[in-house]
Chain A
Amino acid sequence: MASTAASAPRRRRPPVRPARVLLHLFLAGTALAWLAPLLWAVYAALRPYGETSTKGYVSWPDRLSLGNFSDAFTQSEMPHYFGNTLLIAVPAVLLTLFLSSCVAFYASRFDFRLNLALLLVFTAGNLLPQQVIITPLYRLYLLVDLPGITASGKLYDSALGLVLIHVAFQSGFCVFVLSNYMRMLPHELTEAALVDGASVWRMYWQIVLPLCRPAMAALATLLSIWIYNDFFWAIVLISTGENMPITSALKNLSGQYFTDPNLVAAGALLTAIPTLIVYFALQRQFVSGLTLGASKG
């Protein structure tokens, strides 16, 4: 008796409930409407410019092809810009994770007096709008000479500069999340290691860090998408088109091909593909990461 009562809510799925059907109709309709702008972009990108300019955009296609995609990819040197993004995003994600886990380790395992202050500084810094700090940062980047280290000879207009600001800005969020996470690990773990004479570094690298893998995976997914999607820092801190990451290079591409919206649509969609792949492959990590420290703006 008791067991049937307990399992009843799970098994109960009445064959057809009008309310459920209505709900599904509503959700399916809304979902389709939600995807409409993206689907429209796909449709436009699949059609040759010649056809749409004579028949209009809302028309039945004579011919669908991937021509615009391949043209956008080859004519505008998109591979080069994807390379630029990789050069910025990979070190930025790795460094952010490494540095913020260090701070989190310190704050959650050692100095509890400083914990609160550190968390406040990092979290608040991450919530600031980027424009609040951009003016002095821009001047600073122009001021720092790095002859021989970056191609531009300055911090400005270099991948290194973008990596630095991504690390500084995003570590706010990661410190907050990781420090909360590390505080939930049992204290006995590190205390025992300490008594056994393990070094601090060993405690971090071999005990705490491996336990943080789920949080690190979630943050890595999130950071790669955020840093890949960055537009603002690149627009302000990179001046040479050649050095731009893909999202800001797209703006140049659209300026160049503004007479052919189909080609621009193809370029924009190509730009979105890597984030979509990461999202579909690591959906669970992404969503859990987003709610891990929901204070992210």
Chain B
Amino acid sequence: MAVATETAAPAPTRRRGRPEQRPGLKRWLPYALLAPAVLLELFIHIIPMLVGIWMSFIKLTKFFIANWSSAPSAGLGNYKVALDFNNAVGQGLLKSFGVTIAFSLITVAFSWVLGMAAAVALQPEFRGRGLVRTLFLVPYALPAYAGILTWNFMLQRDTGAVNHVLDQLHLSDGKTFWLIGGNALVSLITVAGWKLWTFAFLTLMAGMQSIPRDLYEAASVDGAGNLRQWRNITLPSLRPVNLVLVLVLFLWTFSDFNTPYVLFGTAQPPAGDLITFHIYNASFLTWNFGTGAAMSVLLLIFLMIVTGIYLLGTGRRSRRA
């Protein structure tokens, strides 16, 4: 998409020097320029998505994957299995859904608070600000796999840096399990938050650049403290940025696959069983792609509903304001 807009933009400037252009050419040129992007979008997103939806209605188990056209229709069977909460598969999906909701909400809140704090702290000019800003961007610049794998090493029980530091500070006996059992969720949130907060920081910092300085000056003349300024100037001015930021952060964390996949490997604990990872296991480990596809479609529907409600709700309020 971005490619299309970039190529379309310079067109008028190029035309300026030339005499009249044939009207026929003018009519199809925009379409021709858009065509590659549309085709790619079609082949990369739309068609696979439709195929995915279609897969959720057939019985695509290992008996049929070598010749998928012979797979019998499952009707709503795959959805029934996924949504039957008295059954192990449905229960597993429900639990994983719960874990994912908790994970997303906490991770988004954590990333936002940290990003906001850092953005505010780096707002005034001081020596070395550029250096600190660059440093803060490291988690975002680091390849996800390398970053998460490093966390995996640090969170090991016997050899990990985290337990070593806690032990040296006498905060624990240094024998805490971080990657199995209940602590797995804490680790997962920490790692996902660490990866994500810089994005929040970057976005909020960019947003703050557009707030006029004189607003703050006027406020401090009126005797408003830092907190008051933040609440009454910074926060309202950043509202449009925040709306998009929170939504994007939520969608990203909710469908995070890399973090649990790399952090836990094949031994994922129930406390860290995020939904996309759960679906991957449900389809790839058991060779049951129909049910996996049904679960993906359900997830898609859920995210669409959440996004729709969020946009409607926030859109109405901002029109009123």
| Real binding pair | no
- Which residues of chain A have a CB within 8 Å of any CB of chain B? none
